[in-house]
Chains A and B, each alone.
Chain A
Amino acid sequence: MRLCSIDLTNFRNYDRLRLDIPDGTHVFHGANAQGKTNLLEAIYLCTCARSHRTGRDEELVKHGCDFYRVSIQFVTDRGLNESVTLEYKHAQTRGGSPSRTIYYNDLEVARLADMMGLFHAIIFAPEDLQIVKGGPSERRRFLDVLISRTDRAYFRDLQDFWRVIGQRNRLLKNLKVNGSFNGRVADRNFSDGRTAFDEDESEPPESEMIFPDPAAQLDIWDEQLASIVSAILKKRLDVTEKLSEYASLSIRHLTSSQEQLDIQYRGFGGLDRDMMSRETIERLYLERLRRSRDDDIFRGSTSSGPHRDDLQLSLNGVEARLFSSQGQQRSIVLSLKIAELMLLTEMTGETPILLLDDVMSELDQSRRSKLMEVIQGHQVFLTCTDTAQIFPSDQILISENIDAAVESGGEDNRSTERDDRTQRDGWTSNIFYYEVVKGTVKPEDRY
């Protein structure tokens, strides 16, 4: 996949920006707070309509404006010209609701789910460290975004899940307020001073005969929930297994086999990742719901399910969140991202666009060059404050080549080796530089 152009209106600190983008590597440099990251954010937004930095669209609107628009044109690996446009408008009236409209090839997309998987970009950003350091919700989101981008039905399942869980939680709260259903039946029997020893042959009020007890309603939501949850968990388990495989491969590569990474999905008790069928998961989850029902009514919310689960990241056998150094956590994040890249490429057959937000400066020389290897063959957008940070290896490369040339003793040799290198890298050959200053982007002539 290749990005051809990007159009921004009232997005973050950009009034208006239009960039035509050739294939190659694009370096955006400039001082802090000029809008480098905003540019990558806009591109990333087109993958799943959610920024990597915030879930609140209103933050993306330029201050003092009432809408933003992001529009990109791209070419797929199959050679199709496509476009995605996102528009967001603040609520027009007080108490009104904001509106978001998405267009694919200039046609409005009816559902958010239908924009998943149209455009593929992967972002490497400082915020990614939260996947390791942050709470379970960060890891769940990482997984959810990844799966949704390869599987729209999964995104729909997630939407349905939140709807059903909302309904169930509301019912649980109602049950709590009205006393548990057992309590209600007891009230009816004993309210007139009789005890269970007195036989009660009077007919219960008609309403209770028709609607046996509120628990019957809870049964329905439990069943609906279990059906959706099993679909979600099945996919999460499958993808986690692959993710674990790819991430452990890439961390071995990154660290020259010094580190071992293992990823396990941590769901409710009894759930394990060994090839469980959807039916089994559904049955287990339903049992779980039944067992925790009283507790759920007491809390007024659902105590277990995909909204409580976690990914356990273990580095060399211990929990990474607690027992690994900053440097190790960086390696974990990088290998998770590379695993994401491998999975996405495998499942969609498209080469994603890579967005590197100020990540090079945080990596040491060996990891940087390993990352360079991975990103070969992709269209890359990266930001930095100082371009010298990005290609210090260039200098080394050239001097190495000169050394080699000197050693082998010939001017001709030097130039051919330099050419080889340029071609092999593919990436030193067409780099485009842009200076970003206060919401403007100036292309530079460097090479």
Chain B
Amino acid sequence: MSYRYSPAIAKLINAFAKLPGIGKKTAQRLAFHILDDKKEDALALADAIREACASVRLCSVCCNLTEEDPCDICRSATRDRTRICIVENPRDVAAMERIHDYRGLYHVLHGVISPMHDIGPEDVKLRELFVRLRNHDEIEEIILATNPTIEGEATALYIARLLKPSGIRTTRIAHGIPMGAALEYADEVTLSRAFQNRQEV
């Protein structure tokens, strides 16, 4: 018969194993690491989790994760309030912010339309987007920055379709060859897409 962990340890291991990218073995390692010594570090971690869970919520304007509502970006006086960039999740906001070029606002969908997973337009933060557009007529451009996956494309197309009657300028980010990458390493689909969307120089 195999060795059985005591209930508290088993519970901890199972909790770790639910995290993305953590398997059974890693979960065990983490659990024992926490219990081994430095209990104060572990308790600090527990506090950090508790605190984040309690204070972080969705921004009522853009649906990004924030502690203060509205979030930093939505409150900022220096940002361009005529543009909204639509992304799939909060991580994408962080990615876009790293380029520093974009000074507009965001809207986080928290998912993409996918009938196979029972996610329809009502299940992502689209309603919030349209309410926002209705209340803010200063918005001139919507930038669709969902991922270039089947579902990301479908969601972008869907939003573009709904926006059409409003006359708001709608753009889609370009797909192409990563900078600094050699052409020979690009996969065929990326390369052909980049080729189709070539530009005059």
* Cβ contacts under 8 Å, A206 to chain B: 127
* Cβ contacts under 8 Å, B150 to chain A: 160, 163-164, 167, 224
Q: Does A114 contact B (CB under 8 A)?
A: yes
- Which of B44-52, B98-106, B118-126 interfaces with chain A? B118-126
* Cβ contacts under 8 Å, B122 to chain A: 207, 211
* Cβ contacts under 8 Å, B154 to chain A: 167, 220-221, 224
* Cβ contacts under 8 Å, B158 to chain A: 216-217, 220
| Known contacts A163-B150, A167-B154, A207-B127; A219/B161 CB under 8 A | yes
Q: Does A223 contact B (CB under 8 A)?
A: yes
Question: How far does the alpha carbon of A174 sit from the alpha carbon of B161 in the complex, in Å?
Answer: 21
| Known contacts A210-B126, A210-B130, A224-B153; A170/B116 CB under 8 A | yes
* Cβ contacts under 8 Å, A216 to chain B: 158, 161-162
* Cβ contacts under 8 Å, A170 to chain B: 115-116
* Contact yes or no, B116 A217, CB < 8 A: no
Q: Does B114 contact A (CB under 8 A)?
A: yes
Give the bracket for the number of chain A residues in contact with chain B.
20 to 34
Question: How far does the alpha carbon of A166 sit from the alpha carbon of B188 in the complex, in Å?
Answer: 24
CB neighbors of A among B145-197 (8 A): 150-151, 153-154, 157-158, 161-162, 187-189, 192
* Cβ contacts under 8 Å, A273 to chain B: none
* Cβ contacts under 8 Å, B188 to chain A: 113, 152-153, 156
Q: Does A171 contact B (CB under 8 A)?
A: yes
Number of B interface residues in the complex (CB < 8 A): 22
* Contact yes or no, B187 A114, CB < 8 A: yes
Q: List 25 A-B contacts (CB under 8 A).
A: A153-B188, A153-B189, A156-B187, A156-B189, A164-B150, A167-B114, A167-B116, A168-B115, A210-B127, A211-B121, A211-B122, A211-B162, A212-B162, A216-B158, A216-B161, A217-B113, A217-B115, A217-B121, A217-B158, A220-B154, A220-B157, A221-B154, A223-B157, A224-B154, A224-B157
Task: Spell out A's residues near B (CB within 8 Å).
Answer: 111, 113-114, 152-153, 156, 160, 163-164, 166-168, 170-171, 174, 206-207, 210-212, 216-217, 219-221, 223-224
Task: Spell out B's residues near A (CB within 8 Å).
Answer: 113-116, 120-122, 126-127, 130, 150-151, 153-154, 157-158, 161-162, 187-189, 192
Q: A210-B162, A217-B121 are in contact. List 18 more A-B contacts (CB 8 A).
A: A153-B188, A153-B189, A156-B187, A156-B188, A164-B150, A167-B115, A167-B116, A167-B150, A168-B115, A170-B116, A207-B122, A207-B127, A210-B126, A211-B121, A211-B126, A216-B158, A220-B158, A221-B154
